[in-house]
Chains A and B, each alone.
Chain A
Amino acid sequence: MATDAPAAAGVTTDEKALWERIKEPAIYVRLISLAVVIGGWELMGQTGNIDPVTFSYPSAISVAFWDLIASGKMVSAAYESSQILVAGLLIAIPLGIVLGILMGRFQTFEYAVDTYVFALYATPVVALAFPIAMVLGVDFVGKTTIVVFFAIMPIIVNVYHGVRNVDLSLLEVTRSFCSTESQRWRDLIFPSVVPYLVAGLGLACGRALVGMVVAEFLMSISGLGALSQDYIADLELDKGLAPVVLLMIVGIALTKVVNICETKFSSWRVRQES
């Protein structure tokens, strides 16, 4: 930063990044850890130390997983679940962004709604499942509403903070150059909110999955939640845990998607090369 000498304009290539990762010890530590834990767990199962009625082990769960896929049960359950997950997120994301922006930018609106927003943020949403079921029913609408309640909170709160934390010196720059309010949103406020929004979306996706399973357990049982619960009730633990594995994979995939969005929208952030 100190000198006026031209800074390196080059950007690290993907090839180089790959090499860096292969050289890192982190990846080996993780692989060894996985081998020990999963391998140990499997060994316990193979040697008869796990009672298949109360618990299961990796190879049995994998077999059950493929059986459920092959029989089409997993796919139809996942399809059922994904409907409330997607519907919930499609409502929660735009609604959360709009509410967060309005709260961050308009003081009167903030004072009017902040009590409810922060009260709901602090409330365990599970406790709302029954009142929601009473009012909206136990089917699609009720379940989607649960997902919305789970997912929307981190979006509202993050977007609100993003709008609030706009760099005041840059706000003065926009004023100094005679920017209009709409230009100010385009040049300053939206770009400042993006990192907060992306972090909020990451949290929202995780919470939406929780909301989905909660809704499927507590309301009319359906989807992956129901599939898992039915088999566990029948003491077929290997099949009962297979949908949980799928949920885990979906959770990881959603997090990855959010991470990719994050890198895409923050190409201007230069990683510190120390």
Chain B
Amino acid sequence: MSSSDNGTNPTLRLQGVGKWFGSLQVLDGIDIDVKTQEILTVLGPSGCGKTTLLRIVNGLIFCERGKVSFKGEVVDGPRPEMAMVFQNFGLFPWKRLDQNIGYALRIQGKAQSEIDRLVSHYTELVGLGGFEANYPAQLSGGMQQRAGLARALAAQPDVLLMDEPFGALDALTRETLQEELLRINEAEPKAMIFITHSIDEALLLGDRVLVMTPRPGRIRFQFETGFGRGRDLEEIRGGKRFQAMRHYLWEAMRNPEVEPEPIPELASE
């Protein structure tokens, strides 16, 4: 939890990460640095090992080659400084919303008064005030994922790992939650790895977009979006820069073999 970094050291560093499932190689030579408070979105087709990559970063599974380090320490298992938001929410159906949100805090053995304080803070922050006593099945998918986000935030991690968190939601809910996520992240900035297969989502949320190739998953290219903090998503969507990057990513995703023509908007940065 200490913030001993001086801004130059990455919070999270992946060096030459390679992963095999049996004889099938799923990840190859992944080098990634995530800076403090940086939002990195990872974009790639299904089966490119995005989720596997995130599970390795979380320490849930291990890589056969390379290593992951958090503030200079090798990650050899899950640690409380990182918290995951799961694609299918991962809420306990028999726990009320407040119990779900306070789950990580109970695991960490925090005092009950501290748990109550943090739970009520993060419940309000994600807009779930008044629903504390409900069970997950009584809530919509969007609200369940708000709870999933609140649970991860309440653990007060340095790094948020987002595994296609809005992938199971409808388009409208998804857009609302994208805006909420940015608002929350401005209030309490954290480093974030955000896995998605939506081009728009990758561009709107990311400070940097990283594109992967499938089988085995490799880094194809990456670039800074340059939208900065306090971004207005409506404004960005209508802008030329967004359209150009979106087109670029479309071309790249459609033709995995051919690198698209570089675009002037990006080159000028």
Contact = CB atoms under 8 A, between A and B. Distances in A.
Interface string A1-43: 1111111110000000000000000000000000000000000
A114 interface: no
A239 to B, nearest CB: 49
Interface string B77-100: 011100110101010111110000
B172 A4 contact: yes
Given A177-B104, A178-B80, A187-B103, A7 B90 contact: no
A183 B107 contact: yes
Contacts of B96: 268
B165 interface: no
Contacts of A191: 92, 94
B74 interface: no
Given A173-B86, A191-B92, A4 B60 contact: no
A270 interface: yes
- Secondary structure at chain B's binding surface: helix, strand, loop or mixed? loop
A217 B173 CA distance: 66
A3 B173 contact: yes
Q: How large is the interface on A (under 10, 10 to 19, 20 to 34, 35 or more residues)?
A: 20 to 34
Given A3-B172, A169-B86, A191-B94, A179 B139 contact: no
Contacts of A180: 107
Interface in B131-157: 131, 133-143, 155
A187 B92 contact: yes
Given A178-B80, A268-B93, A270-B135, A4 B140 contact: yes
A90 to B, nearest CB: 27
A45 B135 CA distance: 55
A3 B60 CA distance: 32
A177 B140 contact: no
A73 interface: no
Contacts of B83: 176-177
A7 B78 contact: no
A6 B142 contact: no
A5 B137 CA distance: 14
Interface in A59-118: none
Contacts of B60: 172, 175-176
Contacts of A268: 93-96, 135-137
- Secondary structure at chain A's binding surface: helix, strand, loop or mixed? loop
Nearest to B99: A187
B37 interface: no
B58 A176 contact: yes
A7 B140 contact: yes
Most B CB contacts (10 A, CB to CB) among A175, A180, A188, A191 go to A175
A6 B96 CA distance: 16
B73 interface: no
Interface residues of B, number: 40
A271 to B, nearest CB: 10
Nearest to B82: A176
Nearest to A267: B135
Contact of B140 (A1, A170, A183, A267): A1
B4 interface: no
A170 B92 contact: yes
Most A CB contacts (10 A, CB to CB) among B92, B139, B141, B177 go to B92
Interface in B145-187: 155, 169-170, 172-173, 176-177
A270 B140 contact: no
A169 B86 CA distance: 9
A176 B84 CA distance: 7
Given A3-B142, A177-B107, A188-B92, A270 B137 contact: yes
Most B CB contacts (10 A, CB to CB) among A7, A178, A188 go to A178
A264 interface: no
Contacts of A267: 135
Given A5-B140, A169-B90, A178-B107, 17 more contacts: A1-B141, A3-B142, A4-B169, A6-B131, A7-B143, A8-B138, A169-B88, A175-B78, A176-B58, A177-B78, A178-B79, A180-B107, A183-B107, A268-B94, A268-B135, A268-B137, A270-B137
6 contacts: A3-B140, A7-B143, A8-B138, A183-B107, A188-B92, A268-B136
